[in-house]
Chains A and B, each alone.
Chain A
Amino acid sequence: MIKAILVFNNHGKPRLSKFYTYLTEEMQQQIIKETFHLVSKRDDNVCNFLEGGSLIGGADYKLIYRHYATLYFVFCVDSSESELGILDLIQVFVETLDKCFENVCELDLIFHVDKVHYILNELVMGGMVLETNMTEIFTRIDEQNKLERQEAGLAAAPARAVSAVKNMNMNLSQQIKDIKLPDLPQAIKDLKF
């Protein structure tokens, strides 16, 4: 089970927080703070696993994280999850973000936290991994975005036209776009499922 998913930047500002067990807002902030403290003092060339902090649960829990440019993606998981599997899931998450936001950067996460949540919801549900296939994930997100655009109201026709164009763009980008993400260690590339 995944207990929590946190995204924060190099200064510890939260960009996304998802807790799959209930904790008060105060506790959540404390955990984000402590996790940032733990993670940020580690070099980039050390391993991506950390024995769980005291706040987020006992010895059974591990923090598994990745650092991309200005952002830390941290998953807190228990022993039923495969460590390397979760690392790969983080990679899938980031690549999906990259695809949806077209070259994702921190600003996208800052201003569209709701969309990031919707994307995450297609990967993980209630702390369990829902889907790991990027194509499938992207199809689901895209279809929901279409629904939203249809509902956009009065300017339905032009909106649809725009969305069609956008959609074309997206399809194109899907094929063409070369995903260039920072820090992709060779060993992880081999793990590609």
Chain B
Amino acid sequence: MALKKVKGNLERIFDKNLTDLVRGLRNNKDNESKYIAQCIEEIKVELRQDNAAVKANAVTKLAYLQMVGYDITWAGFNVIEVMSSPKFTHKRIGYLAASQSFHADLEMLMLTTNMIRKDLSSQNQYEAGVALSALSCFVSPDLARDLSNDIMTLLSSTKPYLRKKGVLMLYKIFLKYPDALRPAFPRLKEKLEDPDPGVQSAAVNVICELARKNPKNYLGLAPVFFKLMTTSTNNWMLIKIIKLFGALTPLEPRLGKKLIEPLTNLIHSTSAMSLLYECINTVIAVLISISTGMPNHNASIELCVQKLRILIEDSDQNLKYLGLLAMSKILTTHPKSVQAHKDLIMRCLDDKDESIRLRALDLLYGMVGKKNLMEIVKKLMVHMEKAEGTTYRDELLLKIIQICSQNNYQHITNFEWYISVLVELSRVEGLSHGSMVASQMLDVAVRVHAIRPFAVEQMSLLLENPYAIFGMALGSGRPPSMIQVLYAAAWICGEYCTFLSNPKKTLLGMLDSRMVQLPHNIQSVYLQNCLKILAHLLPSQSKGSPVTANLLTNGTEDGESDDQPDQNVDEQEHSAVEPDKVNLAEIQDFLKPFISSEELEVQERAGCLNNFIKCYVKLESKGQIDDISELSEELANAFSSELNPVAVKAQKKVPVPEGLDLDAWINDPPSDSEEETTETTDVFVKTHTAADFGSTLTEKKKVPEPTEEELGKMREARKQEQDLNPHYLKSSSKPTNSKLVNWSDDVPPIEKLDLNVPLQIPALASSDKYLQESKQKSSKTKKEKSSSGKKKKKKKTKTKDSEEEEDVEIETETVHVVNTVIEMPEGATLSDTEESALAFDDPHRALDIDLDIPLDTPPEITKTKASRKSDPNYIKKSKEKPAEVEVTNSETHETVEVEASVNSIKKTKSSDSKHKSHKKHKKKEKKEKKSKKTDANDDNLLIEME
């Protein structure tokens, strides 16, 4: 038996080691998985051996297989076994495998607690070191709780190596076991002043991570960090500290003022680009946080922008990238400074590096103005043609829309140009933001009254020639995203159908049988807007036909039409219609596929339209002219009211009426004991109401009540209400300076199109034309300006531009006016944003602990110098008996006396001038009327920094 064992061990010497495994893998490239399966079998055998070396060898191989993508948690017990080996060599292997494969949810971790504890207190610092490295990867809440004290002990180890690792480990402990933060914090703070620079750096690192998510709790440490910043030469640490200050300054503007000078010095003196860059970043953060009262404000900004320009002009792409990134931060607050470097940014748009182009795009929105918008957009469009890869194209599209639509289309002088840009965008293949383009079209058409005729004309072209524009993609497979543009086109044509030059043609274009292939949401918009166009057409058509009796207006009502049988369709088909009129029978024919659509919404609307036509045809065949005209007028009226733009979040802001509890059950919830049958009906009812609700929502317009009297009453009431409502936008209030360009002269008349020739649509306006026009015009106006400068000022630019800008851009004409009034419920503002707190699952939520509140049972460490600084109680105590207390500034050893009357501190032994300046400072603070206690505390911080 013993012999067998020895023999077994001998055999094991010839086991594969890691090198053999890797070599084998390389030799078995074709049947890798088979080879690995074989290896795993061998490993399993090896793991059953008693020899520790054999086991360790097996675990090494497992760690490799993990990297290649194999789950090795099944060997967890063996890994733990190897971890517990007395030999460092094996231990290291075990911990490596554990760090690669273990995770916090593993129950096996329970077994490791004591072993890790033993290793942490090992005489050999490297044993503790490997344990810490691995533990940092898989620590669980339980391990964190059980081992937090052992880690704390490591902080006072004599070996800097262990202190360093212990400090970093603390952060992981905090994340998993937030309760550890409060008692451990004073110790952590001590480590900021550790004699070993590595430990110092680690402590800075940990506190920066903590403060990044909960900065306000770490304001008290500002003086310590300030001292470190001015004394340390370790760039790694400096970067971290400077980044931390960037996070702290928004909370304490006075800190920012103190920072500016040393940071500027660093910017001037450092040769390390990384440090320079972080300094600039923090200076920017400071300048953003202090809005007023900075004497050298502009100088600092200029310095930053100058330095960034150097970065951007550097041949190193990395510096260029970062320079642009920082520029975008300045742009938000100091656009003027960045605009001075427009040339540079425009050059970056042509860079060969996509990341750099993207960053330059981010800056673009600050670079545009009325004068250059068209040119910049033109440039982007050219880029889009050349660009490879859809992501970059999509980004370009988003940017074009962003720069055009920013600030209520502030920079657009000619909306015809914008509409044609949008139309051109919709013809670019492979873009994925179709609904965005569509919503822009809708927005412009709704808000810019004067553009409607032009928009309708362009949109009707889109509707009539979808194949030409969207290619053959319509029929095959998934429709392209850009097809959503048809949604906007249909709606605009329907809503503003009075502007249609040939409504009948548009109507028939919309009812093309191939439209069944469109996405359902577009189909239903099509049908609804067919009804609108029809409502517009019929009144004119009905005049001159015979007269008689009654009305059956049920056709417009939703829902009912579903239930009615459609047998009569065929009979009505043959009713004769004059050639210049809309052929209703033809339309009914077209409707057939829609009526049998599987989509509820489409089916319902088609049925509704169909029934209305039926009703109309019936009346017509009976010769009841009066009723027909009444019916058609009634229908036209139903769609006649103006739609106003509503702010995005307006719905949310509508106050809940008093006495309405939205959370209360309307009907008592079904009890558990209820039978299945009732449940199913419940489900049915729910879906039904949901569909109804959806239909009313998507129609965007209330379909009026069926009977005539009710309709009339409602109209009366609405008119009255509109008269009384000061916020109501009357359609009569048309902008006075609607147009300067007579578009109808420029645009060639719509010609008959052959659908088989899909490439060119003659009447589709080209955005280039407007660019040319504007160029000519600008050269003209320049000449004019010399003679009559003031004339142009009458243009309604005031609504959108600030005074200064008006002076600068005086010569650019605004062709159209944007309706900036948006319907909002009272008390709501556009800037209302959603609360953006830490994400719910962010472990840092639990670490939002006020570290200045003393512990219930403060451990002795809280009495150390470091912790006193931020302890409010400490100051309070000294206030009661004004004694001389030595505080903090270890370098100068200045004594600080607490002045009970003003509750603030002045330096007694410092020079007179300092004293005075401090008093001034105090006065300022008094003005700020902050609570006295915090004042005293903050002053304390600031004094330390002086």
Interface residues of A (CB under 8 A from B): 1, 14, 16-18, 20, 22, 24-26, 28-29, 43, 45-51, 80, 82-85, 87-88, 110-114, 117-118, 121, 125-133, 136, 140, 143-144, 147-148, 151, 185-188, 190-193
Our pick among B67, B126, B358 for the contact of A113 (Cβ within 8 Å) is B67
Q: How far is the CA of A42 from the CA of B112 in the complex (A)?
A: 44
Docked CA distance A48–B208 (Å): 25
**A156 vs B571: C-alpha distance when bound (angstroms):** 107
- For B205, give the chain A residue with the smallest CB separation: A128
Q: Indicate if B818 sits at the interface (CB-CB under 8 A).
A: no
**Closest 6 pairs (CB-CB, A-B):** A126-B136, A84-B274, A22-B103, A47-B317, A187-B316, A46-B353
Tell me the complex Cα distance, A191–B321, Å. 16
Task: Please determine whether A82 and B243 come into contact, CB atoms closer than 8 angstroms.
Answer: yes
Residues from chain A with Cβ under 8 Å of B205 in the complex: 128-129
**Does B18 contact A84, Cβ atoms closer than 8 Å?**
no
Contacts A125-B168, A187-B319 given: A46-B137 contact, CB under 8 Å?
no
Using A47-B353, A113-B64 as known contacts, say yes or no to A82 and B126 having CB atoms under 8 A apart.
no
Distance of B163 from chain A, by nearest CB (Å):
12
Which stretch, B88-96, B259-267, B527-535, B768-776, touches the partner chain A? B88-96
B198 touches A25 (CB 8 A): no
Which chain B residues border A17 with CB–CB below 8 Å? 67
Given contacts A187-B273, A191-B272, A193-B272, contact A46 B317 (CB under 8 A): yes
In the bound complex, residues from chain B placing their C-beta under 8 Å from that of A191 are 272-274
Contact B274 A147 (CB under 8 A): no
Do B70 and A25 touch (CB < 8 A)? Answer: yes
Contact yes or no, B69 A117, CB < 8 A: no
Mask, B28-40, CB within 8 Å of A = 1, is 0000000000000
A131 vs B168: C-alpha distance when bound (angstroms): 11
Q: Mark B157-177, 1 if CB is under 8 A from A, else 0.
A: 000010011001101100000
B168 touches A126 (CB 8 A): yes
Q: Pick from A22, A45, A125: contact of B133, CB below 8 A.
A: A125
List of B residues within 8 angstroms of A51 by Cβ = 355, 358
B331 on the A face (CB < 8 A): no
Interface residues of B in 770-826 (CB under 8 A from A): none
Judge whether B344 is part of the interface by a CB distance below 8 angstroms.
no
**Given A85-B274, A190-B271, residue A49 in contact with residue B355 (CB < 8 A):** yes
**B639 lies within 8 A of chain A by Cβ:** no
User: B270 → chain A, closest Cβ, in Å?
Assistant: 10
A26 to B66, CA, bound (A): 10
B155 at the interface (CB under 8 A from A): no
Contact of A25 among B60, B71, B212 (CB under 8 A): B71
Interface centre among A88, A111, A143 (most CB of B within 10 A): A111
Q: Is the CB of B239 within 8 A of A82?
A: yes
Contacts of B105 in A (CB 8 A): 22
* B314 interface neighbour in A82, A87, A187, Cβ under 8 Å: A187
CA distance A191 to B355 in the complex (A): 22
Q: What is the CA–CA distance of A118 and B132 in the complex, to the nearest angstrom?
A: 13
A80 to B272, CA, bound (A): 18
Nearest B residue to A78 by beta-carbon distance? B212
B423 located at the interface, meaning its Cβ lies under 8 Å from any Cβ of chain A in the complex: no
Whether the Cβ atoms of B272 and A190 lie closer than 8 Å is yes
Residues of B contacting A: mostly: helix
B88 touches A147 (CB 8 A): yes
| Interfacial chain B residues near A190, Cβ < 8 Å | 271-273
Which residue of the partner chain A has the closest CB to B92?
A118
Q: Which has the most chain A C-beta neighbours within 10 Å: B18, B136, B318?
A: B318
| B681 within 8 Å of A (CB atoms) | no
A49 touching B212, Cβ below 8 Å: no
Most B C-beta atoms less than 10 A away, residue of A22, A87, A128, A131? A128
In this assembly, does B322 line the interface, its C-beta being within 8 Å of a C-beta of chain A? yes
For residues 303 through 324 of chain B, which have their beta carbon under 8 Å from a beta carbon of chain A? Answer: 314, 316-322
- Asked if B104 lies at the interface with its beta carbon under 8 angstroms from chain A, I say yes
B594 at the interface (CB under 8 A from A): no
B87 within 8 A of A: yes
Structural contact, A88 and B316, CB atoms closer than 8 A: no
Closest residue of B by beta carbon distance from A150? B88
Q: Assuming A126-B133, A186-B316, A187-B314, what are 19 further A-B pairs, CB within 8 angstroms?
A: A14-B68, A16-B67, A22-B104, A46-B355, A47-B317, A47-B320, A51-B355, A80-B212, A85-B235, A85-B239, A111-B19, A113-B18, A125-B133, A127-B136, A128-B209, A143-B126, A187-B273, A190-B271, A193-B272
- Do A87 and B318 have beta carbons less than 8 Å apart? yes
Partner of A144, one of B92, B137, B172, B243: B92
Task: Give the contact-size bracket for chain B.
Answer: 35 or more
A193 and B212 alpha carbons, distance in the complex (Å): 24
Please determine whether B137 and A20 come into contact, CB atoms closer than 8 angstroms: yes
Residues of B within 8 A of A192 (CB): 272
Let me know if B236 is at the binding interface, CB within 8 A: yes
A108 → chain B closest CB, angstroms: 12
Q: How far is the CA of A117 from the CA of B103 in the complex (A)?
A: 18
- Is the pair B236, A85 in contact by a Cβ cutoff of 8 Å? yes
Q: How far is the CB of A101 from chain B (nearest CB, A)?
A: 14
Q: List 28 A-B contacts (CB under 8 A).
A: A14-B68, A22-B105, A45-B317, A47-B318, A47-B320, A82-B274, A82-B277, A83-B318, A83-B322, A85-B274, A111-B18, A113-B63, A113-B64, A114-B18, A117-B96, A118-B92, A121-B130, A125-B133, A128-B171, A128-B206, A132-B236, A136-B198, A140-B129, A144-B92, A144-B129, A148-B88, A148-B89, A187-B316
CB of B710 within 8 Å of the partner chain: no
B202 interface hit (Cβ, 8 Å): yes
Residue from A18, A84, A186 having most chain B Cβ neighbours under 10 A: A84
In the complex, residue of chain A having the shortest beta-carbon distance to the beta carbon of B135: A126
Q: Chain B residues near A110 (CB, 8 Å)?
A: 22
- What residues of B have a CB within 8 angstroms of the CB of A82 in the complex? 239, 243, 274, 277-278
- B residues in contact with A1, CB < 8 Å: 209
Least distance between A183 CB and chain B CB atoms (Å): 12
| Per-residue interface assignment for chain B, residues 467 to 485, with 1 indicating a CB less than 8 Å from any chain A CB and 0 otherwise | 0000000000000000000
B168 to chain A, nearest CB (A): 5
Residues in A with CB closer than 8 Å to B319 are 187
Docked-complex contact B209 and A49, CB < 8 angstroms: no
- Interface presence of B486 (CB below 8 A): no
**Chain B residues closer than 8 Å to A186, beta-carbon distance:** 316
In the complex, what residue of chain B is closest to A152 when comparing beta carbons? B89
How far apart sit A147 and B272, CA to CA, in the bound complex (Å)? Answer: 37
Check if B243 sits within 8 Å of A80, measured CB to CB: yes
Query: Which residues on the A side are within 8 Å of B358 (C-beta)?
Result: 51
* CB-defined contacts of B923 to chain A, threshold 8 Å: none
Known: A20-B137, A47-B353, A49-B355. A84 touches B322 (CB 8 A): yes
CB-CB under 8 A from A80, the residues of chain B are 208-209, 212, 243
B356 within 8 A of A: yes
Contact between B22 and A111, CB atoms less than 8 A apart = yes
Task: Judge whether A126 and B96 touch: CB under 8 Å.
Answer: no
Are B164 and A131 in touch, CB under 8 angstroms?
yes
In angstroms, Cα B847 to Cα A178, docked, is: 47
Beta-carbon nearest neighbor of B281 in chain A: A82
Complex interface: chain B residues within 8 A of A113 (CB): 18, 63-64, 67
A88 touches which one: B66, B132, B274, B352 (CB < 8 A)?
A: B274
**At the interface, yes or no: B677 with Cβ under 8 Å from chain A?**
no
Interface membership of B231, Cβ < 8 A: no
Decide if A130 touches B202 in the complex (CB within 8 Å): yes
Which residue of chain B has its CB nearest to the CB of A83? B322
CB neighbours of B273 from chain A (8 A) = 84, 187, 190-191
Q: Find chain A residues with CB under 8 A from B67 CB.
A: 14, 16-17, 113
Question: Cβ of B172 and Cβ of A126 under 8 Å apart?
Answer: yes
Chain B 322-373 residues near chain A, CB threshold 8 A: 322, 352-356, 358
Contact of A49 among B104, B126, B318 (CB under 8 A): B318
> From residue A85, how far is it (CB to closest CB) to chain B in Å?
5
**Chain B minimum-CB-distance residue to A148:** B89
Q: Are B274 and A125 in contact (CB under 8 A)?
A: no
Within 8 A of A (CB), among B54-81: 60, 63-64, 66-71
Known A47-B317, A144-B126: A125·B165 in contact at CB below 8 Å:
yes
